[in-house]
Amino acid sequence: MADDKAISRRRFAVGAAGLAALPVAAEAAKPAKPAPIPVGKPFILTTWDFGPGANAIGWPMLAEGKSSLDVVEAAINHVELLGDYWVGADGVPNEVGETTLDAMILWGPTHDIGAVGCLKRVKKAISVARKVMEETQHTLIVGDDATRFAARMGFTETSLTGPKSQAAFAKWAEKGERSDAFGPEPIARDDRLAGHDTVGSIALDAAGNLTVGCSTNGREFKIPGRVGDSPIPGAGAYGDQAVGGAVATGNGDVMMRFLPTYHAVELMRGGMHPQAAAEAAIKRIEDAGYRISGGIAVIRRDGVHGGAKTGWKDNPFSYSVQTASGNVKVPVA
């Protein structure tokens, strides 16, 4: 009631004389022009043991003045083609023995994102994600349709099955069990998932433009059609041209419920240090009672970085950052 009175008093007070003043008031209410984003020094951050090798691909490109978009794509392509069990072809089979890929890329200047989920029979998932971003208005394309899209974009179809994925599947299939994803949620019990190794990469180029990307073959013996956190913006990766970026790894089925990379970037936007932001994003998951293995690496556009993890007692999560001063590998405690 008191508020209503106050409003009508204000309206009344405008009166005839007040109308003349309106254009000035409207002018004053115009939002201020955003401050220009500082250029910043080039860097590339890549997760896990892939870091030094992927950064060694990306850093010379950055030093030559190439776009962070090309740099992140090249760094992740390098990992996708390594034949590691957790990224790319010949790795992590699903419940019926097929390897499928998830990937995402984000371009800071336009905040455009491209992603693929459950991509089949195409090796360079991050490059298909880039085509989704650059050639279409879509953000995420999945499954066999993602493969058909890739073929339209000129990618070659090939089997993603190899000796490692076949051997892992044969050993698991012998047990005659269904996917452990049918089990109870990892609350008050550990998730018991074996390893992880999704690659995440964040680069800032000499022009001050940020790119964030990630690629994975997901979770072992997943139910066919499963898409993890990696191609979900704010879950597997996120970035903001004015703030910085974050990439995640671990039990994506749980992690995507908390959008930890979005959370960390938003905390940094509010002024939090990257290390504190990484810890807060992981703590949110722990506070909800989940007992998973997962981690994030975070970097502010001025190059200050941090990381946090939960679980993974025997699996040392790390990330590497390369700048003009060299590469540093950071173990996440």
Q: Report, as residue numbers or ranges, the catalytic residues.
A: 198
Q: Which is nearer to ligand SD4, 62 or 281 (CB)?
A: 281
Reduced to 3 states (helix: H, G, I; strand: E, B; else coil), residue 328 is strand
| Residue 326 φ/ψ region, left for φ over 0, alpha for ψ in the -120 to 50 degree band, beta for the rest | left
Give the one residue of 99, 198, 201, 211 binding ligand SD4; rule: CB under 6 A. 198
Read off the tokens for 207. Answer: 């022009």
Any contact of residue 249 with ligand SD4 (CB under 6 A)?
Answer: yes
Q: Give the chain's end-to-end CA distance (angstroms, integer).
A: 56
Determine if 40 is a binding residue for ligand SD4 (CB under 6 A). no
Task: Compare residues 40 and 88 and give the one whose CB is closer to ligand SD4.
Answer: 88
Q: Is 46 among the residues that bind ligand SD4 (CB under 6 A)?
A: no
Query: Among 197, 205, 220, 266, which residue sits at the site for ligand SD4 (rule: CB under 6 A)?
Result: 197
Q: Which is nearer to ligand SD4, 201 or 249 (CB)?
A: 249
Residue 333 and residue 318: Cα distance in Å, rounded? 9
Q: Which is nearer to ligand SD4, 98 or 229 (CB)?
A: 229
Part of the chain binding ligand SD4 (CB under 6 A), chosen from 20-28, 30-38, 77-85, 222-230: 222-230
In the complex, least distance from residue 193 CB atom to ligand SD4, rounded to whole angstroms? 9
Three-state DSSP class for 9?
Answer: helix
Q: Where do the DSSP E strands lie in the chain? A: 43-47, 101-107, 112-119, 140-142, 199-204, 210-216, 237-240, 244-250, 294-300, 305-310, 318-323, 326-331
Distance from C-alpha of 271 to C-alpha of 322, rounded to nearest angstrom: 24
The least distance separating ligand SD4 from the CB of residue 158, rounded to whole angstroms, comes to: 21
Would the CA dihedral through 181, 184, 187, 190 be positive or negative? negative
CA gap 2, 9 in Å, rounded:
11
Binding mask 173-192 for ligand SD4 (x = CB under 6 A): --------------------
Of 22-30, 118-126, 250-258, 273-281, the window that binds ligand SD4 (rule: CB under 6 A) is: 250-258
Binding residue (CB under 6 A) for ligand SD4 from 121, 123, 131, 196: 196
| Binder of ligand SD4 out of 124, 219, 305, 309 (CB under 6 A) | 219
Tokens standing for residue 50: 């892939």
Binding site for ligand SD4 (CB under 6 A): 86, 102, 196-198, 216, 218-219, 228-230, 249-252
